[in-house]
Amino acid sequence: MKEEKIELTFTRAKLEELIQSEQDLIANTQHALSNAYAPYSGFLVGASVLLENGEIINGSNQENAAYPSGLCAERVALFYAGAKYPEVAIKTIAISAKSKTFEIDDVVSPCGACRQVMAEYQQKQGQDIRLLLHSPNDEVLIANSVTDLLPFMFNSEKLRKF
């Protein structure tokens, strides 16, 4: 038996410590979450994807009474970016959340399904995607790669062995 360790590196910052373009990207997430459709959970999420060509794609979570028919904000934005700009790399994903029913005092991390989708886009494009996870109190957790959120991703190489 061999024990191994995984080290993750991330940075915490206040919103005003980020460069202006990252502050602007987070401002986009705030606008996006105002368009969330979350009548059941009251949990609003906005995601903004910055593409290498400078385009910004926004997404918000969309719930449905027939669970799990809804979709998370991250996947809404990523799938739209992938459909509209299939050959353009994703540089950064910013995510913000707020709740109508309780106070959020720290960053909210993407769900497992969203992490997997982000990881596959990162693998497909062959370069890291930067993540900015923004909290309502303007704290930002910064990860320089999706791998920092999902170190053991399932990938297409696993499928090719069958």
Per-residue model confidence (pLDDT) at position 20: 97
Per-residue model confidence (pLDDT) at position 160: 63
Question: At 54, phi and psi to the nearest 5?
Answer: 95, -10
Per-residue model confidence (pLDDT) at position 35: 96
Per-residue model confidence (pLDDT) at position 116: 93
Helices (H), 92-145: 112-125
The pTM assigned to this predicted structure is 0.92
Contact of 133 with 95, CB cutoff 8 Å: yes
* CATH of region 11-152: 3.40.140.10
138 sits in the region (left: phi over 0; alpha: psi -120 to 50; else beta) called left
Polymer length of the chain: 162
Per-residue model confidence (pLDDT) at position 16: 97
Question: At 159, phi and psi to the nearest 5?
Answer: -75, -30
Per-residue model confidence (pLDDT) at position 47: 98
The token pair at 125 is: 């494009």
Per-residue model confidence (pLDDT) at position 132: 98
Low-confidence ranges of the chain (pLDDT < 50): none
CA distance 137 to 132: 14
Per-residue model confidence (pLDDT) at position 151: 82
Sorted by where each begins, the domain ranges of the chain are 11-152
Question: At 125, phi and psi to the nearest 5?
Answer: -85, -10
Which residues are catalytic, by number? 74
Going from the C-alpha of 124 to that of each of 27, 82, 120, 129, the distances in angstroms are 28, 11, 6, 11
